[in-house]
Amino acid sequence: MSVNKEEQINSILEIYDLTAHKREVIYSEIGHFEAPNWSRNDEYLLLNSDGHLFKLGLKSREKKNVDTGFAKDLNNDHGISPDGTQIVISSADEVPAKDKEQWLTSKIYLLPASGGAPEIVTPKDPSFWHGWSPDAKTLVYTAKRNDSFDIYSIGLNGGEEIRLTDGKWLDDGPDYSHDGKYIYYNSMRSGSMEIWRMNADGSQKIQLTNDVYSNWFPHPSPDGSSFVFLSYLKNQGDAHPPMKKVALRLYDLETKTITTLCKFTGGQGSINVPSWSPDGKRFAFVSYEEN
């Protein structure tokens, strides 16, 4: 009898405390879950697992399903609105489109934070959400149009999507600064995967990291002083696979210095989406163990 590989993985939800400089395990289970978001009311973490969305209570440590209506094939690109009243998800079609891999049918939807019927935001696919502007008016995401994966934004009050990057290399992982002025992202533009920053309108692109690691998913802190990001300790090219040796590192925006916070087995699913606590003193991430 074959054994499901995911059943052999232990997923571990952790919180890193920047004040105490230590990590704390708050939940684990045999199976695969990913990508925590920290709720605005400091009550729960949002997670995805097996195409579904869950809330894990920070006090109860209980995991409860979130109703996502017809959207039943969610990936790990989801988040919570600035006021905490809505959730954004990225979900593939239930039935794959003809001659297209199912993950390439991913579209972005909105639904109430309590769960409910999703409303389409990006009719074009594939689209993978990553950031919500602080004024709650705009989403930023990675999308493949023609043969290129680039970063786009779209207004929630209507209108067409706006292309913010345009190159033959991969641009991914966009997230807004606390004031909405900048978008941080990772890019292969230099020939290796590094962290970049651009203005919210896509202008003035600046490379921020330059080292031997593959650097992904920058998430600016709520106070604007730093951003946390994921580094693969061995170069992965433009891929971000799971179950690799990785580190979480902190980039100080004033001094431009980088501090390694912790190392573990992870990668895809560890910190794909914004996961800072509202007070900016902690953030959540997922590490993994093979059983």
Domain ranges for the chain, please list them. Answer: 5-290
Number of Cβ within a 10 Å radius of residue 256: 9
At residue 284, φ and ψ (nearest 5 deg) are -105, 150
pLDDT the model gives residue 178: 97
Residue 81 DSSP class: -
Mean pLDDT, the chain, as a whole number? 95
Higher pLDDT, 2 or 282: 282
- pTM as predicted: 0.95
34-38 sheet: strands from edge to edge: 34-38, 44-49, 52-57, 63-66
Question: Which pLDDT belongs to residue 2?
Answer: 32
Q: Which residues make beta-bridge pairs with 64?
A: 55
Amino acid identity, position 251: Y
Q: What are the tens digits of pLDDT across the range 101-158?
A: 888 899 999 999 999 999 999 999 999 999 999 999 999 999 999 889 999 999 998 7
* CATH class assigned to 5-290: mainly beta
pLDDT at 7 over 90: no
> Two tokens at 162?
């706006």
Q: What is the pLDDT of residues 21-65, one digit of tens each?
A: 999 999 999 999 999 999 999 999 999 999 999 999 999 999 999
pLDDT at res. 95: 67
**Is the pLDDT assigned to residue 94 strictly greater than 90?**
no
